[in-house]
Amino acid sequence: MHVAFDATCLLRTRTGVGVFAHELVTRWARAEDVDLSAYALSWRGREVLADRVPPSVRVVRRPMAAQVLRPLWRRVDHPTIEAWTGRVDVVFGPNYLVPPTRQAAEVVTVHDLTCVRFPELCVGDTLEYPAMITRAIGRGAWIHTVSEVVAEEIREHFPIDPARVVAVPNGVAPHVRTDPREGPRRAGAERYVLGLGTVEPRKSFPLLVEAFDALAGRDLALRLVIVGADGWGSAALDQAIATARHGDRVIRLGYVDDLDRAAIVQGASVLAFPSVYEGFGLPPLEAMAAGTPVVSSSGGALAETVGDAGLLVPPGDRDALVDALRATLDDEALRARLVARGHARAAAFPWDRTATGVLELLRRAATA
C-alpha cells in the first residue's frame, strides 16, 4: 500500500500533534508492506523535511505553498495531491486537513472539536477546520479521531456516514527514569504542582493560578511550575500571576526539551490539568507513566482517557480543583493509589497499538 503522509507538523516544535505524527511515521516506515511518501505544506519546509522523517520514507521535494493551497482547497478540489506525490493508494492528514485526490482514498485525523464546541477559544487557522472537515467529508474522506468522545461529536455535527468515523486512541511513550534530583533542579523548586501545555485559554492556566493561590498560604514550600510554549493566552496568565497573593511562587519555564520535560514531570508532586476541553489529553498519561499523581478536569475526552487513575473535577470549578489538589498533596495513601493506577493506565496506551490501528483504517479506506 502506497501512503502519502502530511508531515507538515513535524517541521515545527513538537507538541501533541507532532508527537502523534512522529510516532506513527516512525512505525509505518518499518512496515514491509507500506510504501510511505511524506510531503509538507511549506515552501521552505521541503528543504528540511528529509531530516524529520525516517530514511526509508520518500520525500516530496516539489514546493507546496500553504498560503495558496489551503484557501484553494477550501473552495475547490484541485490541484490533487497526486500532482506532487504521483499515484498513491491513500493520503493521510494527521492534523485536520487532507488534500483532494484524483483516485486515492482520504483519511484525516480530527483531534478535537474545540472549533465547534468552543469557537471563542480559537483563533486563526483553527476556525477554518469545520469548513475543511466538511469539504473532505463531501469527497468521501474517512475520519480518524483519538477518542470515542470526539468520534461521537463528529457524527453529531457533520453529515457523515457514522461507519466512516473511527476512533483509535493516542499512545504514550514509556517513561525513562531520571535522577530524582533532576526534576526539582530543572524546575527551580523542590515541591511543586505542575501545569503542562501550550499557554492558551482552553488550558485554564489562570484558574490553576487561582487554585494554587488558595493552597499556597498553608504550604510555604509549595510552588506552581508551568511548562509550555506561549500561545494566545499568555496575557491572561500574566495577569493572573500578577494579581495572585503568591504570584512570586509561580515559575514559568516556557517550552523545554524532552529530557527536561521528563525530569520535571517525574519530579512534580502532582500534575494539574484543568483544561476546559480536550480531545484526548496526553499530559495526564505522560504524568502517569512517570509515576506522578494526576488531578484533571473531566472536559471533553479527559474522563475517557484518565479513567479512575486520576482525580477528576468539573471544568472551571476552582473549589473542586483546590480540594482535589489538597487531597493529592496531603494524603499519602491516596497518592500511592493514584500512582499505582496511573502506571497501569499508561501501560494500556502503547503507541504501537495506535500506529497499527490507524494503519488498519488506511487499508480499510484504500480497499473500500
**Do residue 121 and residue 227 come from a single domain?**
no
Whole-angstrom distance, CA of residue 138 vs CA of residue 117: 21
Number of structural domains found in the chain: 2
Domain that holds residue 142: 2-171+350-367
pLDDT band for position 363 (cuts 50, 70, 90) = very high
Question: Strands across the sheet with 105-110, in order?
Answer: 58-59, 35-39, 2-6, 90-93, 105-110, 142-145, 165-167
Whole-angstrom distance, CA of residue 91 vs CA of residue 107: 6
**Do residue 17 and residue 55 come from a single domain?**
yes
Q: So what's the pLDDT on residue 129?
A: 94
Residue 177 lies in a domain: no
Q: So what's the pLDDT on residue 290?
A: 97
**Do residue 100 and residue 229 come from a single domain?**
no
**Do residue 306 and residue 251 come from a single domain?**
yes
Q: Which of 49-53, 290-294, 331-335 has the lowest mean pLDDT?
A: 49-53
Residue 135 lies in a domain: yes
Whole-angstrom distance, CA of residue 212 vs CA of residue 363: 48
Q: So what's the pLDDT on residue 125?
A: 82
**CATH number for the domain including 193?**
3.40.50.2000
**Do residue 264 and residue 219 come from a single domain?**
yes
Share of the chain above pLDDT 90, in %: 89
Residue 89 lies in a domain: yes
Residue 176 lies in a domain: no
Q: So what's the pLDDT on residue 176?
A: 85
Q: So what's the pLDDT on residue 177?
A: 84
Residue 14 lies in a domain: yes
State the sign of the Cα–Cα–Cα–Cα dihedral 358, 148, 276, 192.
negative
**Do residue 123 and residue 211 come from a single domain?**
no
**Do residue 124 and residue 251 come from a single domain?**
no
Residue 45 lies in a domain: yes
**Do residue 102 and residue 229 come from a single domain?**
no
The tens digit of pLDDT for each residue in 122-137 reads 887 889 999 999 999 9
The answer to whether 226 touches 207, Cβ cutoff 8 Å, is no
Q: So what's the pLDDT on residue 183?
A: 95
Whole-angstrom distance, CA of residue 121 vs CA of residue 118: 6
SS3 317: coil
**Do residue 222 and residue 299 come from a single domain?**
yes
- Give the residue carrying C-alpha cell 505522560: 286
Share of the chain above pLDDT 70, in %: 100
β-strand pairing of 294-297 with 191-196: unpaired
**Do residue 189 and residue 167 come from a single domain?**
no
The tens digit of pLDDT for each residue in 241-275 reads 999 999 999 999 999 999 999 999 999 999 999 99
pLDDT at 286 over 90: yes
The tens digit of pLDDT for each residue in 45-85 reads 777 899 999 999 999 988 898 889 999 998 899 999 999 99
In 228-328, beta strands by DSSP E? 250-254, 270-273, 294-297, 311-313
Q: So what's the pLDDT on residue 123?
A: 82
Separation of CA 8 from chain center:
15
**Do residue 144 and residue 248 come from a single domain?**
no
**Do residue 122 and residue 236 come from a single domain?**
no
Residue 272 lies in a domain: yes
